[in-house]
Structure 1
Amino acid sequence: MTMTTIRGEPFHVQVDGDAGAPALLLSNSLGTNLSMWDPQVAEWTRHFRVVRYDSRGHGRSTAPDTPYSIAMLADDALAILDALGIGKAHWCGLSKGGMVGQWLATHHGGRFDKVVLANTGAYMGPPENWETRLRNVRENGMAVMVQPTLERWFSPAFRERDTATIARVSEMLATTPPLGYANCCAAIRDMDQRGTIQAIRNPVLVIIGKVDPATPPEAGHFIADTVPGAQRVELDAAHLSNLEQPAAFTKAVLDFLKS
């Protein structure tokens, strides 16, 4: 676990794997932190230098109460690569991390090789829904978000079957800085990449949860249909598919990156 100063702000960054291996940068979802990738790291570090970080507003990273944007979150990722001396990397982002990945592939595609966009969308309207959510968090803290979020993120059967994972994710949600969460909600509220992602030229894999109510399958299909040459994989999972179907998710990403 390493705290790194990025453009004058603290970020929690963790690097695993051979320093000489190709880099793979992972970006967490809204309301989680870099530990959401724990089930994947052991396998992926056999092939890649895996870089994880707590996104702005999350975990132990900076969480100022200032306006955020998807472009700002993308700039954070680029600055982390720069700080580590990494010129080019693969990308894997889930939900909010996938939104950041779309921006990066659209505007900074030369910094990345292959791009995985998991359980995500190019537009997450209507804006009023996000405004209601961020106001709720600002007024009442993260406790009000935990149970409804878990119900969106995991299928009922998984919530009953894997209580340990549910407990870990519940803790991540509960300890996310409320102001950081709210400002990330605002960034998602203001995002619309539907008209720009057709410019992406990186190889892209879109991972879709078949029973995902947060970013429904049609959101993933839109991205896969819009990005030229994009591949898609559908998993029997809800929103956090890397946790609900860890083996299938790990293999799908590895097969794509190694192909």
Structure 2
Amino acid sequence: MRYFEREGIRFAYEESGPAGAPVVVFSHGFLMDGEMFQPNIAELSDAFRCIVWDQRGFGATGPTTRAFSYWDSARDLIALLDHLEIASASLVGMSQGGFLSMRAALLEPDRFRALVLISTRSDIDGEEVQKSFEDIKAEWARNGATHLAQDLSVFLLGVDCKASPAWIEKWMRLGAEHFEHPVNALISRDDITSRLHEITHSTLVFHGSDDIAINPLCGESIAAGLPNCKGFVLVDKAGHTPNLTHAELVNPALRDFLMRYAR
């Protein structure tokens, strides 16, 4: 694990693949970390320099003690590229990672070549969903993940996912303190739907057909709103993390797109 620093926060990242190859940066979803992309990187690191990083509050970066927005997270990603002296990269963002990847593309459009968006949306959650996250935040402050982990596993990974025990173990290790900041970023994010037309990069959108966290219609809406979207891939019987749980269905289209547009 390697680290870079921004605003006093020590961010963890890892990279694999040929040093001179085209760069692809992978940004994980809420409650996940860079490990969620390992099944994809295994299929891509022969042709791409693959970089994964752990965002504020998660993974080896650890808890954050201050409020932040996904615009801050987008600047964190850009700071990672600056740290590595990378002038141009493509982005793969899943859910929360999609929120910040789209914002990074809006902040520095000339910095990026192509975008892959997985199980994400450009608008905001409804009141009922926001209330559910407020409830999770309150319960986490009381007991950590003790009473939440099993339901979160179904919510994020689907039923009977072989990877569930490992992720549940990670959530159980997360402390009860400071969890409010990542949740608040999720709840308070702004709606960027009206700015999708500004993201003119070649883009591919994935969504699980059985996603109960973000409706597949949100993915379709993003694909329709992006002027240079090359396709919308509905992953059959997949939930919120199709790149992890159904990598065998995602990887061929992901690799083909990156080979065409990220080099």
Q: TM-score, length-normalised on structure 1? A: 0.92
The structure-2 alpha-carbon separation of the partners of 1:222 and 1:233, relative to structure 1 and needing over 3 Å to count, comes to: same
- Determine if contact 1:121/1:215 at 8 Å carries over to the other structure: yes
| One-letter code aligned to 1:246 | A
| 1:1-259 correspondence runs (5 A) | 1-122=1-122, 123-126=124-127, 127-156=130-159, 159=160, 162-163=161-162, 165-179=163-177, 181-191=179-189, 192-230=191-229, 231-236=231-236, 237-259=238-260
Instruction: Note the aligned Cα RMSD (angstroms).
Output: 1.7
Shift of 1:139: 2.6
| One-letter code aligned to 1:235 | V
- Determine if contact 1:34/1:54 at 8 Å carries over to the other structure: yes
Q: Percent identity?
A: 26
Q: Write out per-residue CA displacement over residues 21-77 of structure 1, whole angstroms, 9 at most, x where no aligned residue.
A: 010000111111111111112221111101111111101114222111010111111
| One-letter code aligned to 1:98 | G
| One-letter code aligned to 1:106 | L
- Determine if contact 1:24/1:90 at 8 Å carries over to the other structure: yes
Which whole-Å CA distance do the structure 2 matches of 1:71 and 1:179 have between them?
Answer: 23
Q: Write out per-residue CA displacement over residues 172-210 of structure 1, whole angstroms, 9 at most, x where no aligned residue.
A: 332345445431221121112222222211111110100
Which whole-Å CA distance do the structure 1 matches of 2:87 and 2:43 have between them?
Answer: 23
The structure-2 alpha-carbon separation of the partners of 1:40 and 1:145, relative to structure 1 and needing over 3 Å to count, comes to: same
Which whole-Å CA distance do the structure 1 matches of 2:120 and 2:171 have between them?
Answer: 18
The structure-2 alpha-carbon separation of the partners of 1:223 and 1:5, relative to structure 1 and needing over 3 Å to count, comes to: same
Shift of 1:140: 2.3
The structure-2 alpha-carbon separation of the partners of 1:134 and 1:89, relative to structure 1 and needing over 3 Å to count, comes to: same
The structure-2 alpha-carbon separation of the partners of 1:212 and 1:68, relative to structure 1 and needing over 3 Å to count, comes to: same
Which whole-Å CA distance do the structure 2 matches of 1:116 and 1:181 have between them?
Answer: 28
Q: TM-score, length-normalised on structure 2? A: 0.90
| One-letter code aligned to 2:78 | L
The structure-2 alpha-carbon separation of the partners of 1:258 and 1:181, relative to structure 1 and needing over 3 Å to count, comes to: farther
Q: Write out per-residue CA displacement over residues 102-129 of structure 1, whole angstroms, 9 at most, x where no aligned residue.
A: 1112222211110011011122232333
Shift of 1:101: 1.2
- Determine if contact 2:141/2:179 at 8 Å carries over to the other structure: no
The structure-2 alpha-carbon separation of the partners of 1:104 and 1:177, relative to structure 1 and needing over 3 Å to count, comes to: farther
Give aligned pairs, total.
254
Which whole-Å CA distance do the structure 1 matches of 2:81 and 2:174 have between them?
Answer: 24
Shift of 1:2: 1.6
Q: Write out per-residue CA displacement over residues 73-95 of structure 1, whole angstroms, 9 at most, x where no aligned residue.
A: 11111111110111110100111
Which whole-Å CA distance do the structure 2 matches of 1:180 and 1:112 have between them?
Answer: 32
Which runs of no fewer than 5 residues in structure 1 stay unpaired? none
